Amino acid sequence: MSHVFPRHTKYTLPMVTRGEGVYLYDQAGKQYFDASGGAAVSCLGHGDPDVIDAIKTQLDAIAYAHTSFFTSDPAEQLAEKLIAHAPDGIDRVYMVSGGSEAMEAALKLARQYFVEIGEPQRRHIIARKQSYHGNTLGVLAVGGNEWRRAPFSPLMVETTHISPCFEYRGKQAGETIFEYGQRVANELEEEIHRLGTDAVIAFVAEPVVGATAGAVPAVEGYFKRVREICDQYGVLLILDEVMCGMGRTGTLFASEQEDVRPDIIGIAKGLGAGYQPIGAMLCSGEIYAAIENGSGFFQHGHTYIGHPTACAAALAVLTKLTDGGLVQNCATIGDKLQDALQLAFGQHLNIGDIRGRGLFRGIEIVQDRETKRPFDPSRMIHKSLKKEAFNAGLACYPMGGTVDGVSGDHILLAPPFIMDESHIDEIVSKLTTTFAKVL
Ligand X SMILES: Cc1ncc(COP(=O)(O)O)c(C=O)c1O
User: Per-residue x/- marks for ligand X, 82-121, CB under 6 A?
Assistant: ----------------xxx--x------------------
Output DSSP code: residue 221: T
- 192 to 221, contacts with ligand X by CB under 6 A? 206, 210-211
Closest CB 207 distance from ligand X, rounded Å: 10
Site residues (CB under 6 A) for ligand X, limited to 45-74: none
For residues 187 and 240, which CB has a smaller minimum distance to ligand X in the complex?
240
Pick between residue 135 and residue 176 the one whose CB is nearest to ligand X.
135
Question: Which residue number places its CB atom closest to ligand X?
Answer: 99
Cβ-based nearer residue to ligand X, 98 or 401 = 98
Provide, rounded to whole angstroms, the least separation between the CB of residue 40 and ligand X. 7
Residue among 37, 45, 134, 144 that touches ligand X (CB under 6 A): 134
Measured distance CA(377)–CA(169) in Å, rounded:
17
Q: Could you tell me the smallest distance in angstroms from the CB atom of residue 83 to ligand X?
A: 21
Whether residue 230 contacts residue 203, with contact meaning beta carbons closer than 8 Å, is answered with yes
Identity of residue 39? A
**In whole angstroms, how close is the CB of 295 to ligand X at the nearest point?**
27
Cβ proximity to ligand X: between 96 and 326 the closer is: 96
Size, binding site for ligand X by CB under 6 A: 15
Query: Nearest 5 degrees, angle CA 104-CA 108-CA 113?
Result: 145
Q: How far apart are CB 409 and ligand X at their closest, in Å?
A: 18
CB of 212 to ligand X, least distance (A): 8
> Binders of ligand X among 255-274, rule CB under 6 A?
268
Stretch that binds ligand X, among 160-168, 235-243, 285-293, 421-429 (CB under 6 A): 235-243
End-to-end C-alpha distance for the chain, whole angstroms: 36
- Tell me what percent of the chain is helix, strand and coil, each rounded to the nearest 5: 40, 20, 40
> Strand ranges (DSSP E) for 6-134?
16-20, 23-26, 31-34, 90-96, 124-128
How far is 146 from 156, CA to CA, in rounded Å?
A: 13
Contacts of residue 289, Cβ cutoff 8 Å, sequence gap at least 6: none
Q: Which helix (H) or strand (E) covers residue 356, if one does?
A: strand 351-357
Angle at 207 between CA 204 and CA 213, to 5 degrees: 95
Span from 116-124, 150-158, 238-246, 412-420 in contact with ligand X (CB under 6 A): 238-246
Please state the closest distance from residue 206 (CB atom) to ligand X, in A: 5
| Contact set for ligand X, span 308-367 (CB under 6 A) | none
- 216 to each of 64, 90, 260, 403, how far by Cα in Å? 38, 25, 17, 12
Q: Cα-atom radius of gyration of the chain, to the nearest Å?
A: 21
Least Å distance between CB 241 and ligand X?
Answer: 8
CB-nearer residue toward ligand X: 210 or 401:
210
Nearer to ligand X among residue 396 and residue 424 (C-beta): 396
Cβ closest to ligand X, residue 100 vs residue 249:
100
Among 23, 94, 113, 132, binds ligand X (CB under 6 A): 132
Quote the CA–CA distance of 372 and 266 in Å, as a whole number.
33
Q: Which is nearer to ligand X, 221 or 272 (CB)?
A: 272
Smallest gap from residue 94 Cβ to ligand X (A): 15
Q: Which of 290, 412 has the CB closer to ligand X?
A: 412
For position 240 contacting ligand X by CB under 6 A, the verdict is: yes
Q: DSSP character for 368?
A: B
In the shown chain, the binding pattern of residues 20 to 39 toward ligand X, with x for contact by CB under 6 A and - for none, equals: -------------------x
Minimum CB separation of residue 216 from ligand X in Å reads 12
Q: Which is nearer to ligand X, 213 or 341 (CB)?
A: 213
Nearest distance, CB of residue 397 and ligand X, angstroms: 10
Nearby residues of 418 by Cβ (< 8 Å), 6 or more positions away: 21, 22, 44, 45, 326, 329
Coil/strand/helix, residue 71: coil
Using the CB atoms, write b or e for 386-419: b if 16+ within 10 Å. Answer: bbbbbebebbbbbbbbbbebeebbbbbbbbbbbb
Alpha carbon distances (Å) from 259 to 10, 223, 231, 256, 332 = 45, 8, 15, 5, 20
How far is residue 234's CA from residue 418's CA, in Å, rounded to a whole number?
42
Specify the residue, 213 or 403, whose C-beta has the smaller distance to ligand X.
213
* Alpha carbon distance 204, 172 (integer Å): 24
Instruction: List residues near ligand X by CB under 6 A.
Output: 39, 98-100, 103, 132-134, 206, 210-211, 240, 242-243, 268
